[in-house]
Structure 1
Amino acid sequence: MSIDHTHNPQASSWVPAADDHAEFPVQNLPLGIFSTDGGPARAGTAIGDCVLDLTAMAEQGLLPPAVVPALGQATLNALFALPAADRLALRHALFACLTSDRFRVRLAPLLHRAEDCALHLPFHIGDYTDFYVGIHHATNIGKLFRPDNPLLPNYRHVPIGYHGRASSVRVSGTTLLRPKGQLKAPDAEAPVFAPSRRLDYELELGVWIAGDNALGEPVPIADAWSRIGGLTLLNDWSARDIQAWEYQPLGPFLAKNFLTTVSPWVVTAEALAPFRVGQPPRPEADPQPLPYLVDAADAEAGALALDLEVTLASAAMRDAGLPPLCLSHGPATNMYWTVAQMVTHHTSNGCDLHAGDLLGTGTISGPARDSFGSLMELSGGGREPVALPSGETRCFLEDGDQLTLSARAVQDGFRTIGFGPCTGTVQPAR
C-alpha cells in the first residue's frame, strides 16, 4: 500500500466543499452502500457533503471493467474479493474523475446530498471476531478483579480474541435496546433475569477483510496487509453485569451479542497508506512475539496514526441544547498488537478468512483516564461517577444516552481524513 498521487495534499476536487471537508476530501474516497428515497442499495463513495453513486458510474462505463460487475451488488463483498490491484485502479479512476473539471457535467447528476441518503451495512458479514489488543484496557479491567496481577500470563505472547455474533452487527444509527439477561449481585444467593444495569460501550476499530484464503492455508505476517481491505469504527456494546455472571469458564456470550455498531464508510487500506507508522516498541521486560508474528515491515509501518474520540449526550443534554461531552480521546497506537498480527494469528491454525469478514480490535484505551475507552474504566467499575454538564452523572449508560465514536487520520504533510460517526442511542428494554 504505497503513497501515490491520490494522497497529494494539494489535490483539489470540483465537488463543492470537498477540499475543506474535515473527513471526506478527495484524498479519502471511502467506500460504502447507500440508497435514496427507499430505492435499491447501491455502491457509493463519500466526497465532501455528498455521496457519489458508483453503481451509476459503472453502468456509464466510467470505471475500470474489472470492478463493474462487483459495483452492481448490494454489498461490497464482491468488490473486496477482487485483487487489491483492481481496488487501487478504482481509487485512481475516482480520483481522476473528481479532480478533473471535464467530468463535472457528467457526474454532477450522480452526486447526492449525504443528508438525503440512507447508509447501510457495507458487507454481508460471514464471520466476526473480536480481539483484545488494547493493553491499557486489558490492564485497567484486570486491576478491577486482580489488582496484584491484572494481565494474565498469555496476554503478551498471543493476540487474544473470541468469536462474536455476526448477525447482530448493525450500521451506525441503529437503536440500542437495553439488553436483558441473568444478573447476580455479589451478595445475592441466586441470579435474576432483568435489564442490564451496567450497560457500557467499547471504543474499537473494525478491520474489514479482503480476499480469501483456503481452509488450512495460513496468511504469513508479510502478506497480512494484503488481506486488510479497510477500517471502520466499531462499538462492541457490553452488558458488564451480565458478563460478570456468565463469562466463566467460556467467555463472553449474551453480554456481547445483542448489538455491535459499525460506522458505514470503509476507509480503505489504500487511503490509509500515509498514516501507517511504526509500532511503539515493547517494554524491555516484555517477551518478543514468536517468529510467525514478527515482520520488520510491520514493525516499521504496522500501526496507524489515528486520533480516536468518544462523546456522550444524554437526553437531558440534548433537550437543553448542550454539546456532547468528550469522554475520552487518544491515539490508535495504544494497540499492543497490530492489525496484521491479528490477521496472521487468526489464520495461523489454518482458519479461512473471507471478503467481508469483520475483526474488532477490542477496546483501545490509553494510559491516562482521559483516554480510557469504556465507562467501566472511567468510572472505576462504578465507584467514580462521570459528571455531565447537565448536572447528571454516569457510571454506566442510561436510557436516552447517545454515544458517538469518531476518528481522524492525521499525519504531517498529508490531508486529514476521517471515518464518519459511529453512533447509537440507548432505548429502554422491552
Structure 2
Amino acid sequence: MSEQTPLDPAAGDTPGLPESDSIGLSEGDPFGLPEGDPFGPHNLPYGVFSLAGERTDQRRVGVRLGSYVLDAGAAAAALGSPYVSLLARPTLNALLSAGRTAWSDVRRALTAWVTVPSYRDSVRPLLHPLSDVTLHLPFEVADYVDFYASENHATNLGKMFRPDSPTPLTPNWKHLPIGYHGRSGTVVVSGTDVVRPSGQRKAPSDTAPVFGPSVRLDIEAEVGFVVGAPSTHGTPVPLADFREHVFGLTLLNDWSARDIQAWEYVPLGPFLGKSFATSVSAWITPLDALDAARVAPPERTHQLLPYLDDSAESATDEPGGYDLRMTVTLNGHVISEPPFSTVYWTAAQQLAHMTVNGASLRTGDLYGSGTVSGPSAGQYGSLIEITWNGRDPLELPDGKRTFLEDGDEVTLSAWAPGPDGTKVGLGEVTGRIVAAR
C-alpha cells in the first residue's frame, strides 16, 4: 500500500484528490460501477453491518457503493485517517454527534477513497457484497416523533371521518405541524417481522369494546429524519439551523392499527395503535447527497408565525422541500407512488416546531414526516386511503385487500434526483406481517 497523507479534520483536506484527478461515475471509475448506479459515489449512504458468524460487538459502520458495502472504519484505519474514531464503531451515533463540519469532511474523504484510482488496492479488499452481510439498525434511536404533514393525507382522512364538517382539515392544521411522541424502543430495521398487535377495539355497532388482534392493520409511507448534533435544553432550533442538526434521512413505515387507534385516540391521540413497531431503512442518506433534490414546498395559504415562516427562502435554499419519488409495493405488486414534494410542512419547520417550546434534541432523535400522499388515488401512502376506509377493496393478483393480512409483505423504496442527471437511491424498508402472539 502506498503511503497516504492523513486528513486534517480542521482544514477539511482530502488526501490524493487534486482538482485534476476527479473521477467520473462511469468512465474511468476505479470500481467499475454501472453507469447511472443510484448508489454511486454521489450518494454513499451510511449503514451498520456484520458478516456471517460475527458477534454483536463486531458490527461496524458501512457505506454502500453499488451492490457492495465498504467497511468504513477499516478503510479509515488502512488509509491513516483521523476519522477512525467516528467510523470504527458499532453504530452511527459517534459520527452523528460530531456535527456538520465532521459530516462534510468524512463524506469528502469517503468520496476520495472510492473515486481516486490510487486508493483502489487499499479499498477493494474492504468491499463486501450486499448478499454476504447482515444489515442492522444503523443508530441508537433516542426520541421518536411522528408528524401529520401531508395536506392530501389529512384532507382524505378528514373527509372520511368528518364528512359533515365544512372543511376536512382541523382548524390548527395550516398553522402548525401536528405530531405526536412515539416509542423509540420499537423502531426496527428493514427486514424485521411485524407482529400483528392486539388491543381494545370498538366498532360503531358494538355496545362495548372487545380485545383481540387488530383487524385493520395499515401502513404509512413516510420519510424519517435523523438528528445528529444535539441542542441545548430551553433553546429553540430556528429554521435556518436545520442542516446544523439533521444528519440525513431514511425511509420509514409507521405501521398503524386503525381499529385500536380509533378507539383510543380521543382525547390524547395515538398510543397503542402506533407504538408496536416502526420500520426504518438500513441506510441513512446524508443531506449533502440530496442537494440536487431540493425544491420549494407547496404554496402557503395561511400567514405563518415567524418561527415557521419560510416565505423569504428561495426554492434552492434551506429550509425547503425534497423531491423524493416513493414506491409502495404489497407482496411485490406496486400499489402507490407517493411524491414527497407535495408534503406541506417541511422537515425544517417540523424541527423548529418540535423545539420551539425549549425541548432539546438528542443525538439519534428520529422524526417522521407523517404519511406521504399525493393528490390522486395512485399516490396515496396508506391503505385506509387507497381503499377509502375499506369501502373499495384493492384488487391484487393474489386477492383483494382492504387492510393487511398475515403473511403480507410491504416494501417502501424511493429515489431522488442527483447531480448531473443521476439518481440517488434511498434504499428500501420492508416488513412482513406475522400472526398475533
TM-score scaled to structure 1, two decimals? 0.92
Report the 3-state secondary structure (helix = DSSP H, G, I; strand = E; otherwise coil) of the residue aligned with 2:348: helix
Q: Which is worse superposed, 371-380 or 147-156?
A: 147-156
CA RMSD of aligned residues (A): 1.7
Report the 3-state secondary structure (helix = DSSP H, G, I; strand = E; otherwise coil) of the residue aligned with 2:326: strand
State the Cα distance separating 1:10 from its structure 2 match.
6.5
Map 1:160-239 → 2, pairs under 5 A: 160-239=178-257
1:200-250 Cα deviation digits (max 9, x unpaired) = 000000000120111001111111222110000000000000001111111
Alignment of 1:423 with 2:426, yes or no, is no
Q: Is the 8 A contact 2:217 2:258 kept in 1?
A: yes
Match of 1:316 in 2: none
Q: Which is worse superposed, 102-111 or 9-18?
A: 9-18
State the Cα distance separating 1:413 from its structure 2 match.
3.0
Match of 1:406 in 2: 413
Q: Which runs of 5+ in 1 are unaligned?
A: 314-323
Alignment of 1:364 with 2:372, yes or no, is yes
Report the 3-state secondary structure (helix = DSSP H, G, I; strand = E; otherwise coil) of the residue aligned with 1:345: helix
1:343 counterpart (351, 354, 358): 351
State the Cα distance separating 1:331 from its structure 2 match.
1.6
2:145 counterpart (129, 142, 149): 129
Give the Cα separation in 2 of the matches to 1:18 and 1:252. Answer: 45
1:97-119 Cα deviation digits (max 9, x unpaired) = 11122211111110000111111
Which amino acid counterpart does residue 387 of structure 2 have in structure 1? Answer: S
Q: 1:248 to 1:7 in 2, by over 3 A?
A: farther
Q: 1:173 to 1:162 in 2, by over 3 A?
A: same
State the Cα distance separating 1:20 from its structure 2 match.
4.0
Give the Cα separation in 1 of the matches to 2:315 and 2:130. Answer: 38
Report the 3-state secondary structure (helix = DSSP H, G, I; strand = E; otherwise coil) of the residue aligned with 1:253: coil
Q: Which is worse superposed, 415-424 or 196-205?
A: 415-424
Give the Cα separation in 2 of the matches to 1:230 and 1:360. Answer: 12
Which amino acid counterpart does residue 256 of structure 1 have in structure 2? Answer: K
Which amino acid counterpart does residue 426 of structure 1 have in structure 2? Answer: I
State the Cα distance separating 1:58 from its structure 2 match.
2.2
Which amino acid counterpart does residue 416 of structure 1 have in structure 2? Answer: K
Which amino acid counterpart does residue 17 of structure 1 have in structure 2? Answer: L
1:72 counterpart (66, 78, 88): 88
Q: Is the 8 A contact 1:222 1:297 kept in 2?
A: no
Q: 1:72 to 1:161 in 2, by over 3 A?
A: same
Match of 1:117 in 2: 133
Q: Which is worse superposed, 233-242 or 286-295?
A: 286-295
Map 1:8-407 → 2, pairs under 5 A: 13-17=29-33, 19-21=35-37, 23-39=38-54, 40-63=58-81, 65=82, 67-147=83-163, 148=165, 149-282=167-300, 286-295=301-310, 296-297=312-313, 300-301=316-317, 302-313=320-331, 324-390=332-398, 392-407=399-414
Which amino acid counterpart does residue 190 of structure 2 have in structure 1? Answer: S
Q: Is the 8 A contact 1:305 1:333 kept in 2?
A: yes
Q: Is the 8 A contact 1:35 1:117 kept in 2?
A: yes
Q: Is the 8 A contact 2:62 2:72 kept in 1?
A: yes
Which amino acid counterpart does residue 139 of structure 1 have in structure 2? Answer: T
Q: Larger relative contact order (C-alpha < 8 A, sep ≥ 6)?
A: 1
Aligned residues: 409
Give the Cα separation in 2 of the matches to 1:211 and 1:142. Answer: 36
Q: 1:164 to 1:49 in 2, by over 3 A?
A: same
Q: Which runs of 5+ in 2 are unaligned?
A: 1-18
State the Cα distance separating 1:185 from its structure 2 match.
1.5
Report the 3-state secondary structure (helix = DSSP H, G, I; strand = E; otherwise coil) of the residue aligned with 1:94: helix
Give the Cα separation in 2 of the matches to 1:105 and 1:299. Answer: 42
State the Cα distance separating 1:426 from its structure 2 match.
0.7
State the Cα distance separating 1:300 from its structure 2 match.
4.5
Give the Cα separation in 2 of the matches to 1:187 and 1:400. Answer: 29
Which amino acid counterpart does residue 372 of structure 1 have in structure 2? Answer: Y
Give the Cα separation in 1 of the matches to 2:392 and 2:265. Answer: 24
Q: Is the 8 A contact 1:7 1:27 kept in 2?
A: no
Give the Cα separation in 2 of the matches to 1:278 and 1:61. Answer: 40
State the Cα distance separating 1:72 from its structure 2 match.
2.4
Report the 3-state secondary structure (helix = DSSP H, G, I; strand = E; otherwise coil) of the residue aligned with 1:280: coil
Give the Cα separation in 1 of the matches to 2:419 and 2:188. Answer: 34
Q: Is the 8 A contact 2:236 2:359 kept in 1?
A: yes
Report the 3-state secondary structure (helix = DSSP H, G, I; strand = E; otherwise coil) of the residue aligned with 2:338: strand
Q: Is the 8 A contact 2:408 2:432 kept in 1?
A: yes
Q: 1:99 to 1:411 in 2, by over 3 A?
A: closer
TM-score scaled to structure 2, two decimals? 0.90
State the Cα distance separating 1:411 from its structure 2 match.
5.3
State the Cα distance separating 1:388 from its structure 2 match.
0.2
Q: 1:411 to 1:265 in 2, by over 3 A?
A: closer
Q: 1:353 to 1:299 in 2, by over 3 A?
A: farther
Q: 1:18 to 1:55 in 2, by over 3 A?
A: farther
State the Cα distance separating 1:325 from its structure 2 match.
1.4
Which amino acid counterpart does residue 151 of structure 1 have in structure 2? Answer: L
Which amino acid counterpart does residue 202 of structure 1 have in structure 2? Answer: E
Which amino acid counterpart does residue 383 of structure 1 have in structure 2? Answer: R
